[in-house]
Amino acid sequence: MVEPHGKSWTTRRGSNPRLESDPVIDIPPTPPGDARPGNKLPATTPFLSLFLPFLSSGSDGLGYANLTTAFTIGAWYFSNIGVLLLNKYLLSIYGYRYPIFLTMIHMVSCSLYSLAAIRWLRLVPLQSVSSRKQLFKIAALSGIFCFSVVCGNTSLRYLPISFNQAVGATTPFFTAIFSLLITCQRESGAVYLALLPVVLGIVVASNSEPLFHLFGFLVCIGSTAGRALKSVVQGILLTSEGEKLNSMNLLMYMSPIAAVMLLPVTLWMEGNIAGTTAAKAAEDPRLLFFLFVNATVAYLVNLTNFLVTKHTSALTLQVLGNAKAAVAAVVSVLIFRNPVTVMGMTGFGITVFGVVLYSEAKKRSKSSSSASSSSPNSSSSS
């Protein structure tokens, strides 16, 4: 009786297709030797992920994008501090007191390096200007750029780098103002409230600066405001879908326009600068080497400025600059031995603290706005 019952059960199971959907344990096949634990990674895994674990998180493209951004920010720090020290040495210590002509040399250098990188080395594809409106925006950016750099270089003749960087730390304040005026981007009350320590710190530092110079302070404020305006306009040019240019093409188009703008200004305000430079170079041939290195590093500054803005944002570029400002201030004090006071350092610290508060308030504002915008979509889908 047991055997027929077993046969009838087998017959029913094989003849009823609905019973075939019963769960069946699927044992996976044995992996090949190169995929077993302890053996080498597959060819699709980046080699750099062995040394940089964050590259393996997410996708490979995201990891390399993070590495590119980190490298770009590091190059931006190095070039910015380097050109700042070189400018201070040439304009104040060495005695080459021609900031407008020095800025024009920077623009010519950027034009030549960008042209070589795009036309000959083909590092990025060549892009053309699509409209007169776009050309006008590039020209406007060139004018703002000239104003900012000339004012910044001029301030180095009268102010120490430490105080120059303390004033430059207030750039997020001007960035927020220009973002409101140009892009009509309003921030929360906490964001604007966090800007108060930024302004308070520079007031404290100005009152206690032993080498304070009014004209140098005013042109430094102008340079800071121009830098903030440039970053906002530059961010629009790099992110607008209708007029997007990559950073190297934008630099190639902007630099010659800026050099042409500066040529009549330097001839009018600095006289026969070409003859003066030739005479100084005849006395000290090192001047030509200093100018060449300074112009090369200036190209790296502008290139990495564009890249950091493209990979992050205009505000992020300014916030990252405060760490650079602190490092540059310390290095300049060690090299040039300019006097500093406790109140001056305190004011600088208050400004940096205010910038940190501003960036945190900015992050919270963005996260709350993104959460509120995503909540209606989730409720409608449910």
DSSP annotation of 341:
-
Residue 181 predicted with pLDDT over 70 = yes
Kindly state whether residue 82 falls inside one of the protein's structural domains: no
Q: Is it the case that residue 16 has pLDDT exceeding 80?
A: no
197 within some domain: yes
The 10s digit of each residue's pLDDT in 335-347 is 888 888 899 889 9
Write the pLDDT tens digit of every residue in 106-124.
999 999 999 998 888 887 7
The number of distinct structural domains making up the chain is 1
Helix residue ranges, H only, the chain: 2-15, 60-88, 99-115, 132-158, 161-168, 171-183, 189-193, 196-207, 214-239, 247-270, 273-283, 286-311, 314-336, 342-381
The answer to the question of residue 45 being in a domain is no
Q: Which residue has the tokens 């009152």?
A: 207
299 falls within a domain: yes
Q: Which residues contact 376 (CB under 8 A, 6 or more apart)?
A: none
Residue 122 belongs to some domain of the structure:
yes
Buried b (16+ CB within 10 A) or exposed e, 34-57: eeeeeeeeeeeeeeebeeeeebee
Is 22 domain-assigned? no
The answer for residues whose C-beta is within 8 angstroms of residue 25's C-beta and 6 or more apart is none
The pLDDT, as a whole number, for residue 173 is 87
Q: Has residue 50 been placed in a domain?
A: no
The pLDDT-based confidence of 126 (bands split at 50, 70, 90) is: confident
Interatomic CA distance for residues 66 and 68, integer angstroms: 5
pLDDT of residue 292: 96
* Residue that is written with structure tokens 């240019």 in the block: 245
More confident residue, 44 or 314: 314
Tell me if the pTM is above 0.75: no
Tell me whether residue 225 is in a domain. yes
Tokens for 14, please give them: 């094989």
> Which pairs count as long-range contacts for 173-180, CB under 8 Å and 24+ apart, including other chains?
173/198, 173/199, 173/228, 174/224, 174/225, 174/227, 174/228, 174/229, 175/228, 175/231, 175/232, 175/314, 175/315, 175/318, 176/315, 176/358, 177/228, 178/228, 178/229, 178/232, 179/232, 179/314, 179/315
Query: Sorting pLDDT into bands at 50, 70 and 90, what band is 33?
Result: very low
Average confidence (pLDDT) over 53-81:
70
Structural domain boundaries, residue 186: 87-363
Angle at 172 between CA 171 and CA 173, to 5 degrees: 90
User: Using alpha carbons only, how large is the chain's radius of gyration in Å?
Assistant: 29
